[in-house]
Structure 1
């Protein structure tokens, strides 16, 4: 068996996002398992590329030799349905779906329908589909006509911290990690923080501020208007999140949807109690005893959960212990890579 395939992706593979982080770790893990991987960049702007970018991406994929094994990241593949109809059948395509494109926050009904139909048609041309959560597997089977036997679930791995924190900060430190986009719900989190401003705390938000500049600007203004500038830090990206997790007491993120939610798994592995929303796959990642899961966009519920953790150190410690227990059971990246490797072997 020749352990070789092409990994096709859009945008910048080095961006500090959960999806690209998953791609990087899996590529590394598969190479460790003996796979030779040819990287194929498809261009920027997906899932809304220019006509020129889409045409060039199609040309690059069409240039692959017949019967080539290629894994295509769903951020691009989901809108390449016309190419898939014309040319994909001569290739052995594995789609990697982090979450369906139609479920991105901020789309109107027409945009959702367009993306759903496009991705459904593209996925029909694949030999197999790899997804990052059981929730996404169910979504593809139910609403995208992908047969369950055609889907492999490979949940993200989690890096285990060398030691667990034992000491709580005198002033509780709240950590939030994720790109500054509408889907991450930072507007809800900041509004909730304003409601608990009578309590002592400090908060740090770590994430890419360049993906949606209007959202970043609006968040900065919201912090200023809420008189939280001395307590909430928009820290930008970080190449090493471990110190931030190690120094935090609470992890909070009000995502409106997550295909998995790697940052929640990382928070669990560091033994942090979590405040989050019942959104997408988050309830599959965060056990009930490890924090509080509240309805999406419910500022009062987020504020209430934060108030409980901030004002009751014993409750915070109890939830932290449960989080560490759950985090210890999470798979490593080597496990994720092994699952994908076994799926690839079926088609190599």
Structure 2
């Protein structure tokens, strides 16, 4: 018997924070007692074709009787009401990492349409799981969701060994995230272009095929700033490769304009890495003030100023690493995340 179905669009192995969240939660549930089935949806979301919507509607209509339905937000906000209603009278829960219409780089009309679509879809959900208190507040303020309908299930963080603080040699910077406008890697490159007198190198680990135009623009920026020998764009990496990159990193950097949570940041905390992070979205709350140099999103000058001491001064890196390691000891685990969502699924009622 199936207690719940978790509907997720695309390839579950995709190396992004949202898919990692789903993989971890499913892995925790595999040990019981909640019996959950993974339902793959077409990979075109959040821009589904009419055919893919029909496939999704048919899949919802075939769901096991009595099973709750959890739908990942990459698909849920783009679902029309008839597709959602095809699931029938069962507990329906939407998982929201961050609203679809707030993705950077969207044409204004498309962003407006996605906001309207997600607002209508959320009104049909019995409960909503948000991945941060920030997203919960955003859904209440801008999407008309009642406070009592929202449960916060922050991403867990796996325990990790502390990365030693290196005091000599080239300072290795790492930025983790798909190369899309929202992640603002180009701003990080611009900031570092003004620190050419310091000894650093930057690795950007994230898929380059989600937005080819953005990736091409980033490569042009690197070339125009004559940083080809110092900035590496290595594309998507495996879990093992990412773990290795963390062990080789001196400073973890995120210039993102908006984060629904910021899982790469907490992975840095778990390893005691010095952090520089923009305060876009939930990232301002995800990382404690003492554990990171925080900068306003989109502010290249502030980003450069924050980076300078952590590159130039080993003592500054050590102090930041100590604060990061202390904060990392207090992070939630994936078992906590899975238990929170399981409780929400059990309590949701049509």
| TM tier relative to shorter chain | over 0.9
Question: Which residue in the other structure is 1:202 paired with?
Answer: 201
Query: Residue in 2 aligned with 1:121?
Result: 120
Instruction: Work out whether residues 257 and 297 of structure 2, in 8 Å CA contact, stay in contact via their aligned partners in 1.
Output: yes
**1:32 is paired with a residue of what secondary structure?**
coil
SS of the aligned residue for 1:223 comes to helix
| Distance (whole Å) between structure 1 residues aligned to residue 21 and residue 31 of structure 2 | 15
Aligned residues: 347
Match of 1:228 in 2: 227
Q: Please report how far the alpha carbon of residue 146 of structure 1 lies from its aligned counterpart in structure 2 after TM superposition.
A: 1.4
Match of 2:11 in 1: 12
Structure 2 counterparts to residues 259-338 of structure 1, below 5 A: 259-338=260-339
Q: Residue in 2 aligned with 1:57? A: 56
Question: For 1:12-47, what per-residue CA distance to the aligned partner results, in whole angstroms no more than 9, with x for missing partners?
Answer: 111000000000000111122322222212202211
Cα pair 1:207 1:238 within 8 Å, conserved:
yes
Counterpart of 2:98 in 1: which secondary structure?
coil
How far, CA to CA, are the matches of 1:105 and 1:343 in structure 2? 30
CA drift of 1:66 comes to 4.8
Asked if the contact 1:223/1:232 (under 8 Å) is kept, the reply is: yes
Q: Is the 8 A contact 1:185 1:254 kept in 2?
A: yes
Task: Check the 8 A contact 1:178/1:184 in 2, yes or no.
Answer: yes
Do the aligned residues in 1 keep the contact of 2:162 with 2:325 (CA within 8 Å)? no
Is residue 112 of structure 1 aligned with residue 111 of structure 2? yes
Supply the distance in 2 between the matched residues of 1:67 and 1:186 (Cα, whole angstroms). Answer: 45
Give me the TM-score of the superposition, normalised by structure 2: 0.94
Q: Helix, strand or coil: the match of 2:4? A: strand
In the TM superposition, residue 143 of structure 1 has moved relative to its aligned partner by 1.5
Worse-superposed segment, 167-176 or 245-254: 167-176
**Secondary structure at 2:232 match in 1:** strand
What is the SS of the residue equivalent to 2:95?
strand
* Bigger Cα displacement from structure 2, 42-51 vs 178-187: 42-51
Question: Residue 90 of structure 1: SS of its match in structure 2?
Answer: coil
Give 1:303 deviation, angstroms.
1.0
Instruction: Please give the alpha-carbon distance, in whole angstroms, between the structure 2 residues aligned to 1:19 and 1:235.
Output: 20
Query: Which sits farther off after the overlay, 61-70 or 329-338?
Result: 61-70
Instruction: Measure how far apart 1:273 and its partner are.
Output: 1.5
CA–CA distance in 2 between the matches of 1:86 and 1:175? 44
**TM-superposition CA deviations, 1:117-151 (whole Å, max 9, x none):** 11111111111111110001111111112111111
Contact 2:76/2:121 (8 A) holds in 1:
yes
- The alpha carbon displacement at 1:3 in A equals 6.0
- Give the root-mean-square deviation of aligned CA atoms: 1.7
Per-residue CA deviations over 1:90-137 (Å, capped at 9, x if unaligned) read: 232111111111111112332222111111111111111111100011
Question: What TM-score does the superposition give when structure 1 sets the normalisation length?
Answer: 0.95
> How far apart, in 1, do the equivalents of 2:168 and 2:47 lie?
44
For residue 193 of structure 1, what is the aligned residue in structure 2?
A: 192
**Cα separation, 2, equivalents of 1:43 and 1:25:** 21
- Unaligned stretches of 5+ residues in structure 1: none
1:89 touches 1:125 (CA, 8 Å); kept in 2? no
* Contact kept? 1:130, 1:340, Cα under 8 Å: yes
**Which one is further off, 62-71 or 313-322?**
62-71
SS in 1 for 2:154: coil
Compute the displacement of 1:164 (Å).
3.9
Q: CA deviation at 1:7?
A: 1.0
